[in-house]
Amino acid sequence: MGPDTGTESPIAALLTPSLSSAVVQPLYSVRALFFTAFFGGGAAGLWLSYLNARRLRRQRKDAVYLLLLGAVWLAFQVDLILLTRDGVLLGAAWGNTGRGGRALTHLAALLVAGVAFLPHRPFHRAMQVAGMSPASPWLAVLASVGVGLLTNLLAIGLARQL
């Protein structure tokens, strides 16, 4: 190798990594996403999916997709509130409006979370293959459920104005 002259050899320059040395943050688990959507609603699942997008540094790429899903979720909630308030939809079909409305809301929230999961599926699989364990979801889940609660209140407010 020779004496140290303060300059890097051409071979050493070729062998040094050129990509950023940023640490990869593990994603929140799929299980956390679906439990959050089930208990907090579709907006909570979408928020946790957004937090996963931030960890992947692709929030701009996923923003339109997640906002569109959020608009669909909000429209679903307002429609469900209006239909159950008027007794049109769930009174006859489900027998008990409250229980049927909750079941339909849980089903729709899981569906929204599943659609929000699709762009991140390869990253979850890569994390699993690499043997990485998921990030601790507790704070993110609590924040997501808070966002879901705020969205529910927004839907109720919008339904009252209609």
Q: Following DSSP, what letter does each residue of 53-91 receive, concatenated?
A: HHHTT-HHHHHHHHHHHHHHHHHHHHHHHHHHHHTSSHH
pLDDT of residue 90: 47
Cβ–Cβ < 8 Å for 105, 37 = no
pLDDT of residue 94: 43
Domain that holds residue 39: 27-161
For the chain, the domain total comes to 1
Helix axes 42-55, 138-161, angle to 10 degrees: 140
Would you say the C-alpha torsion 5, 11, 15, 21 has a positive or negative sign? Answer: positive
pLDDT of residue 6: 56
Specify if 9 maps to a domain.
no
Q: How many residues does the chain have?
A: 162
pLDDT of residue 95: 45
pLDDT of residue 42: 94
Specify if 88 maps to a domain.
yes
pLDDT of residue 24: 73
Using a 10 angstrom Cβ sphere, with 0-12 exposed, 13-18 middle and 19 or more buried, the burial of residue 54 is exposed
Specify if 107 maps to a domain.
yes
pLDDT of residue 81: 80
Question: Residue 103: how many CA atoms within 13 Å on its side-chain side?
Answer: 9
Cβ–Cβ < 8 Å for 73, 42 = yes
Tokens of 80: 């469900």
Specify if 56 maps to a domain.
yes
pLDDT in tens, the chain (162 residues): 555 555 666 776 666 666 655 677 899 999 999 999 999 999 999 999 999 999 999 999 999 999 999 999 999 988 888 877 665 554 444 444 566 678 888 999 999 999 999 999 999 999 999 999 999 999 999 999 999 999 989 998 888 888
Specify if 17 maps to a domain.
no
Specify if 8 maps to a domain.
no
pLDDT of residue 7: 62
Q: What is the rounded distance in angstroms from the CA atom of residue 162 to the CA atom of residue 17?
A: 59
According to DSSP H, which parts of the chain are helical?
A: 10-15, 30-40, 42-55, 59-86, 90-94, 97-117, 121-129, 138-161
Specify if 21 maps to a domain.
no
Q: What is the pTM of this model?
A: 0.80
Identify which of 141, 154, 149 has the alpha carbon closest to the alpha carbon of residue 33: 141
Specify if 131 maps to a domain.
yes
